[in-house]
Amino acid sequence: MIVVGGGVIGLTTAVVLAERGRRVRVWTRDPVERTTSAVAGALWWPYRIEPPEAARRWALRSLDVYEELAERPEVTGVRLVEGVMGETDLDETDSWAAGRLKGLRPATPEEYAGSVGLWARLPLVDMSTHLPWLRERLAAAGGVVEERTVSALAEADAPVVVNCTGLGARKLVPDASVRPVRGQLVVVENPGIRTWVVSKDASGEMAYVFPHPGRLVLGGTSEEDEWSLAPNPAVAETIVRRCAALRPEIAGARVLDHRVGLRPVRDAVRLERELLPDGRALVHNYGHGGAGVTVAWGCAEEAAGLCGPAASG
């Protein structure tokens, strides 16, 4: 079996398959440390993903896994961190999150000065640790990662092929409905901030502050159909300014890095099985937008189920 794509969706899917007894190879164009997933701020929350009902099911299953992984944060990169989801209230989450999310309550004015906010304790994933950990967990289960460029899914010489190519599916499938939404981040020294915050202003501009070990990740942007991977200095200044309005101590923090990633957005996640012209099975698992980390384990388990029993490939 071959999983095409080495981001968080591809690696997580490969891990689930390998631990169910499948012989798995992952084909990835880039090392896992240079995939789009490596750029993610990686707070668990169903963000910009359709369809909502399935996404929430995948997200809650993934939450189960992340809560277990958070028991070993230094190894897995997963921590449970408190913070405020701005412009969100309990009524918006009661239908799917109430009673499941730890510490869920309205934020106080001291915690968040915006119109309304939701205080929660959520998984925050350090992708610089988590992606290599996934690769090591895959290796422990007998799987391998191979760096190679794929120009057509039919190149994969296996009875079952799993397409986790994200934005690459636009050309490989081909699927013109997959499009990039560009996100730019600024990484700064952490002046002592321990909680995260996500906020949206009246114009719809989003700002977020994510405390990771040894650094703060500041964001962010959502630029539709923008392919450039070059950081924009003016955008970076705007990001720091918006985040400093939320946490004033950020204003003087030293900038460590600038990052850009292209979220693979689709009108709805494609998670289904089809047959290639030669009769082999092709399972699609792509189009997760900015919520790949949030739904990774739920989608991986569903994709693994679509691959059939171990004896078939």
- pLDDT > 80? residue 94: no
CA neighbor of 217 nearest in space, from 266, 255, 267, 170: 255
Q: What is the pTM of this model?
A: 0.96
Taking each helix axis as running N to C, give the angle between helix 292-306 and helix 52-69, from 0 to 180 degrees, rounded to the nearest 10. 100
Retrieve residue 253's tokens: 């923090």
Tell me how far apart the alpha carbons of residues 299 and 88 are, in angstroms, rounded to a whole number: 25
**What are the CA-CA distances from residue 28 to residues 131, 145, 173, 180 (Å)?**
13, 7, 16, 19
Q: Hey, what amino acid is at 96?
A: W
93 in a labelled binding site: no
CA 134 to chain centre: 13
Question: What are the residue ranges of helices labelled H in 77-200?
Answer: 90-93, 127-140, 169-172
Residue 203 marked in a binding site: no
Four-CA torsion 249, 253, 256, 258, nearest 10 degrees: 60
**Residue 311: what pLDDT?**
52
What's the CATH number where 259 sits? Answer: 3.30.9.10
Instruction: For residue 263, name the pLDDT band (cuts at 50, 70, 90).
Output: very high
pLDDT for the residue 92: 81
Sequence-distant (6+) residues with CB within 8 A of 148 are 27, 28, 29
Domain residue limits at 112: 2-312
Dihedral pair phi/psi, residue 188, rounded to 5°: -130, 165
Q: Is 37 annotated as a binding residue?
A: yes
Per-residue pLDDT band for 244 (boundaries 50, 70, 90) equals very high
Which tens digit of pLDDT belongs to each residue from 177-193?
999 999 999 999 999 99
Tokens 């079996």 found at:
1
Pick the closest to residue 229 from 66, 30, 12 (CA basis). Answer: 30
d(CA 69, CA 123): 9
Instruction: Please report which confidence band the pLDDT of residue 50 belongs to, taking 50, 70 and 90 as the band edges.
Output: very high
Please enumerate in sequence order all residues whose Cβ is within 8 A of that of 84, keeping only pairs 6 or more positions apart, or say none.
107, 111, 112, 117, 118, 119, 120, 195, 196, 197, 198, 199
pLDDT reported for residue 64: 97
Phi-psi sector, 48: left (phi>0), alpha (psi -120 to 50), beta: left
Q: What percent of the chain has pLDDT over 70?
A: 99
Q: Average per-residue pLDDT in the chain?
A: 94
pLDDT score at 127: 97
Alpha-carbon torsion 86, 82, 239, 291, what sign?
A: negative
SS3 233: helix
Q: Is 292 annotated as a binding residue?
A: yes
Minimum mean pLDDT range among 36-45, 201-210, 233-242, 247-256: 201-210
User: Is 41 annotated in some ligand binding site?
Assistant: no
User: How many distinct structural domains can be found in the chain?
Assistant: 1
Helical ranges in the chain per DSSP H: 8-19, 52-69, 73-76, 90-93, 127-140, 169-172, 233-246, 292-306
201: pLDDT confidence band, cut at 50, 70 and 90? confident
312 falls in which pLDDT band (50, 70, 90)? very low
Segment 86-93 mean pLDDT: 88
Determine the Cα–Cα distance for residues 287 and 130; give it in Å rounded to an integer. 21
Q: What's residue 118's pLDDT? A: 94
Q: Give the C-alpha separation, 243 to 252, whole Å.
A: 12
Q: pLDDT class for 282, splitting at 50, 70, 90? A: very high
Give the model confidence (pLDDT) of 293-306 as tens digits: 999 999 999 999 99
pLDDT of res. 126: 97
Confidence at 202, pLDDT banded by 50, 70, 90: confident
